[in-house]
Amino acid sequence: MAKVIGGVGTSHVPAIGAAVDGGKTQEPYWKPVFDGMQAARDWIARTKPDVCIVVYNDHASCFSLALTPTFALGVAERYQPHDEGYGPRPVPVVQGAPELSWHLAESLILDEFDITVVSEMTVDHGLTVPLSVLFGQPTSWPCQVIPLCVNVIQYPPPTGRRCLKLGQAIRKAIEAYPADVRVAVIGTGGLSHQLQGERAGLINAEFDNAWLDDFVAAPEQVAQKDHLELLREAGSEGLECVMWLVMRGALQAEVDVVHRFYHVPASNTAYGLLVLEDVAPPLHTTT
């Protein structure tokens, strides 16, 4: 049977992708950020998931405001990196996992999540930067990828509660899939940042660190935070952090923190990274 082997949360700052693509990861500005990622890279190299479900948002690249799906699940064989105005990133084409995607679509929709099923889509920095965070610069990505695109661009985005429940339904679907596929769930976006308006440049490290604590230990509580609180505390783009809750819902209530890293700033953004695994099941004893 398929199983969830763990979850990763990471910001998807485009400048991180540009640093990788431009060979700048060892420069003084970026070195601390990339040093802080190494343990996550080691984890994924060790655990080798067959498939990563990447929960991300499109930044008006593939979807324009003409069409705003709340949750859009890719079911394609492959996804081309999107040209975001300065050419597509020089990264490998993303290979899909259509059979598992269709299984997820069926299971989630029968579970009453009204998912938009997408047969053709391109992927922007929201998806490709997390792959660079985890895998560096390979000639081909070492796993298949299922894009799960969440609307956090156009009001109204889904609630944290809905995202957490979606993660729980994804876990149920994966555990009902007969093939022995090992799946990691990657939540992307955040942490605090605001790219527009009077508060552009906002970063709230105190909020972010408390959010990371509670995200691990009390996800139901984090999921209760409403849009206004997230907007006020984490900034307009900081709202992206609700996508991490999909990853959290796909894990058990109790998790081990394999790695946690926080750094300010990375471009305009507070960079956060978490690697989580389910708490190992207790050993069977005979006494």
Q: Which of 10, 70, 151, 268 binds ligand DHB (CB under 6 A)?
A: 268
User: Considering beta carbons, is residue 168 or 267 the nearer one to ligand DHB?
Assistant: 267
193 touches ligand DHB by CB under 6 A:
yes
59 touches ligand DHB by CB under 6 A:
yes
Distance of closest approach, residue 28 Cβ to ligand DHB, in angstroms: 18
Known catalytic residue at 12: no
- Cα separation of 57 and 151, whole Å? 6
267 touches ligand DHB by CB under 6 A:
yes
Q: Which of 6, 9, 10, 12 binds ligand DHB (CB under 6 A)?
A: 12
Of 30-38, 150-158, 262-270, 276-284, which segment contacts ligand DHB by CB under 6 A?
Answer: 262-270
Q: Identify the CA nearest to 226 among candidates 168, 166, 163.
A: 163
Enter the tokens of residue 150: 């969440």
The backbone region for 103, taken as left when phi is positive above 0, alpha when psi lies in -120 to 50, beta otherwise, is alpha
CA distances to 108, 174, 187, 243 from 72, rounded to whole Å, are 12, 17, 14, 13
89 touches ligand DHB by CB under 6 A:
no
Query: E strand or H helix at 256, and its extent?
Result: strand 255-266
Known catalytic residue at 103: no
User: Considering beta carbons, is residue 158 or 189 the nearer one to ligand DHB?
Assistant: 189
The dihedral built from the CA positions of residue 150, 194, 82 and 37, taken in this order, carries a sign that is: negative
Q: How many residues bind ligand DHB (CB under 6 A)?
A: 12
Q: Which of 58, 208, 237, 277 binds ligand DHB (CB under 6 A)?
A: 237
- Residues 193, 227, 263, 284: which is the catalytic one? 193
Of 6-14, 34-42, 88-96, 133-141, which segment contacts ligand DHB by CB under 6 A?
Answer: 6-14
Angle between helix 31-47 and helix 14-21 axes, rounded to 10 deg = 90
Enter the tokens of residue 170: 């994804």
Of 38-46, 133-141, 150-158, 267-275, which segment contacts ligand DHB by CB under 6 A?
Answer: 267-275
Q: Which of 2, 4, 8, 13 binds ligand DHB (CB under 6 A)?
A: 13
Q: Identify the CA nearest to 235 among candidates 191, 189, 193, 190.
A: 193
- Cα separation of 178 and 174, whole Å? 9
Q: Identify the CA nearest to 232 among candidates 204, 212, 259.
A: 204
Q: Which residues bind ligand DHB (CB under 6 A)?
A: 12-15, 59, 189, 193, 195, 237, 267-269
Residues labelled catalytic: 125, 193
